[in-house]
Structure formats: C-alpha cells, structure tokens
C-alpha cells in the first residue's frame, strides 16, 4: 500500500499534466506542504525552547536573575554587586555545575519529546497507521522501566540531589565508604577523588547518606590532654590565648567567623584531663585553621610549662645483671641510685607534677 502523498499524484495522463504548474501546485499544497510545516514548526519550537533553557541556566550559573527590573539591572555591574557575586567561590561553582547539568537534562528531554511528536505527526500525514507504533512504544517503556530500575533510580536520585544542592564540585564529602573531594557531578554517577588519589565512581542511587564537610561553614576542633593535677583555669587561659593568636593572624584570621571557645573538662581520668578549643571558620578552611591552632597550642603550653598528659611519666627498667660487692653481696643501693638518676635525666626540666 502506497502512502497517501504518492497516491495523490494521478497516474492518469488526462488527470495530471506534468507540464502544468497548476497541477503541481495543487499536489504540493496537500500532504507535502503539511509535512514541511510540521517539520518547520517543530524545529522552530525546539530552537526557541533550547534557547530559553540555555538562557535561564546560564543566568543561574552566573548568579544573576534572568528577569531583572531596570532598577536592579545595573547592580551586578557595580563593585558591590560584583563582590557579592564572588563572595563564595565554592557556592558559585556548585551552583554553576547544578544549573548546567539540569539544563543539559532539560535540553535532552525537549529533543526527545518534540522530535518524537514531529516524527509521529509526519507518519500520520503520510498515511501510515501510527497505532502500532504507540502500542509498541508503551510496551517498550514498561519493559525498560522494569529492566532498568537501577538506572532510573540513579537518575532520580541525581536529579533530587542537584535540586536540593546536597553537594557540588569542590566539596569534601563523606559517603560512608568513600571520603574525598567531588570532581564531577552527573545525573547517574558522582566522581570523588580520595585523599590517596583514587578516583571513585559512585552511583547516585547507591548513596544512602551524605556528609558535606565544606558547606556553609566549618569548625576547627583541637583536643588537649593535660595532667589531672594541672590548674584548669590556667590551662583554659593559655588555650584561649593561643586561639586568639590564630584569630589575629593576617592570613588565617580572615577565615575565622566567630571568637574562639575553650570548653570545660570533657573527660577526666586518673591520667589526664581532656579540654577542647574550637574556632568556627568559613567553609573548607577548618583544616588549615586547625593545623595552625595545634601549633599555637603546643607553643603556648611549652611557654607556660604545662606538660601534656604522659609527658612527665617515665618508667625505667633495669635489666642489667646484679652487681656484687667484694664480699659477694648485691649492691642494691647503687642500682636504685642509677635508676633514679636516669629518671631525673629523662624528666623534662620545669615539668609540673608530684615528686
């Protein structure tokens, strides 16, 4: 069975004159013109939709609204507006990755929907029965849904992850078994670079929990264990001075968001007391501030002659053969004196503690 647009061309020479332009025009304004209009309208609609999607996602990625009033139009061109847009580079990178990924998905969906619609309309104009195609597409969709459940789960999880802004490129995340820096975010998988350089490909549908270590703000926490007989007030004062020194640093001080805190005794044992000093920092700066804080705490405790727990405890074991005097008796007195001298030599000068 021939398509309709071919059967519309009369095969009878008396009904159709190939040399007559009117006959060609009559045939052309039928099915061929409708097919051309369907393809043209579909192409124009697809181009406009892709342009709108690209424009909106670009504005979201750049941090500027797509629809701005005349009063707000020049805000982003001022120094204050530019500074606000560049205030958080990690947030900007995460927003840009999220916007471009969602834009890519929307453009792909628009291509599939409009392209499929145009093809089915053209087939209907050509006189073909599209009922079997629609039925086959429905059956194939059901089969694909059952057979690719994990793939659909990955895509849905990736979509919600992007919309909820759980993490983005440059974030340090904890997925349970994988801890590292996010290098690429897609709808199906997320690429995470571990500390040892291993690049992990994590399927979004398998991520049960996400710990984002670099979102909004962080906290540098240093635990200090000192001897249980140390003066708590003095220790807290020394720790606070060390933290204030880090806060006053011209480079690291910019990352400090709040005054440092020295918590009370968190743990008390027969050997030591545990105190904590913490500083609230900007996102992804807690590790650098924490390293500087540990160095400052060590120097401050050394200057104040406050030993860390265990620094003053020395155990000397003398396994040398027992010495005997000329009369054959053990010289226990000399062995005890030698052990005491060794302990005194090992003990740090000026260390506090019981004799």
For the chain, what is the mean pLDDT?
Answer: 77
When pLDDT is cut at 50, 70 and 90, the band that residue 279 belongs to is very high
CA separation for the pair 277, 226 (Å, rounded):
13
User: What is the length of the chain?
Assistant: 355
Which whole number is the average pLDDT over 29-46? Answer: 85
pLDDT for the residue numbered 346: 42
When pLDDT is cut at 50, 70 and 90, the band that residue 64 belongs to is low
Question: Residue 302: is its pLDDT beyond 80?
Answer: yes
> How far, in Å, are 11, 174, 183, 187 from residue 156 at the CA level?
56, 21, 20, 8
User: Is residue 8 packed enough to be buried (19+ CB in 10 Å), middle (13-18) or exposed (0-12)?
Assistant: middle
Residues of the chain with pLDDT > 90, as a percent, come to: 33
Residue with tokens 């304004």: 29
For the stretch 70-119, pLDDT in tens is: 444 444 455 544 554 455 555 666 677 677 777 877 888 888 889 888 88
Contact 172, 214 (CB under 8 A): yes
What six digits make up the tokens of 114?
A: 């409009």
Output 255 or 162, whichever has higher pLDDT.
255
Question: Residue 268: is its pLDDT beyond 60?
Answer: yes
What six digits make up the tokens of 147?
A: 């057979």
Q: What is the pTM of this model?
A: 0.58
Output 228 or 97, whichever has higher pLDDT.
228
pLDDT for the residue numbered 48: 94
Question: Residue 34: is its pLDDT beyond 90?
Answer: no
C-alpha count within 13 angstroms, C-beta hemisphere, residue 62: 13
> How far, in Å, are 204, 276, 302 from residue 201 at the CA level?
9, 37, 46
User: Is residue 336 packed enough to be buried (19+ CB in 10 Å), middle (13-18) or exposed (0-12)?
Assistant: exposed
């Amino acid at each position: 069975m021939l398509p309709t647009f071919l059967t519309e061309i009369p095969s009878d020479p008396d009904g159709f004159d190939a040399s007559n332009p009117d006959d060609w025009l009559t045939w052309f304004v039928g099915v061929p013109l409708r097919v051309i209009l369907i393809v043209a309208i579909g192409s124009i609609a697809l181009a406009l939709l892709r342009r709108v999607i690209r424009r909106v996602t670009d504005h979201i990625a750049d941090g500027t609204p797509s629809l701005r009033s005349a009063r707000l139009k020049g805000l982003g061109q001022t120094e204050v507006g530019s500074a606000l847009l560049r205030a958080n580079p990690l947030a900007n990178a995460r927003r840009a990755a999220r916007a471009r990924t969602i834009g890519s998905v929307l453009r792909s969906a628009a291509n599939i929907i409009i392209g499929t619609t145009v093809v089915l309309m053209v087939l209907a104009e050509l006189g073909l029965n599209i009922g079997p195609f629609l039925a086959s597409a429905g059956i194939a969709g059901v089969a694909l849904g059952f057979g690719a459940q994990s793939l659909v789960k990955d895509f849905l999880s990736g979509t919600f992850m992007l919309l909820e802004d759980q993490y983005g490129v440059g974030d340090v995340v904890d997925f349970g078994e994988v801890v590292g820096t996010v290098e690429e975010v897609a709808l199906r998988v997320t690429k995470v670079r571990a500390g040892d350089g291993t690049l992990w490909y994590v399927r979004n549908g398998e991520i049960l929990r996400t710990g984002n270590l670099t979102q909004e703000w962080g906290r540098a926490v240093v635990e200090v264990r000192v001897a249980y007989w140390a003066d708590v007030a003095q220790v807290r004062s020394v720790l606070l001075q060390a933290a204030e020194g880090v806060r006053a640093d011209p480079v690291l001080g910019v990352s400090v968001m709040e005054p440092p805190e020295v918590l009370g005794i968190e743990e008390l044992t027969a050997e030591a007391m545990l105190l904590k000093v913490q500083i609230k920092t900007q996102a992804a700066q807690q590790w650098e501030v924490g390293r500087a804080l540990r160095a400052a705490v060590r120097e401050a405790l050394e200057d104040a002659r406050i030993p860390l727990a265990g620094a003053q405890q020395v155990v000397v074991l003398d396994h040398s053969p027992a010495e005997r005097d000329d009369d054959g008796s053990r010289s226990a007195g000399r062995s005890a004196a030698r052990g005491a001298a060794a302990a005194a030599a090992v003990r740090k000068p000026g260390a506090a503690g019981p004799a």
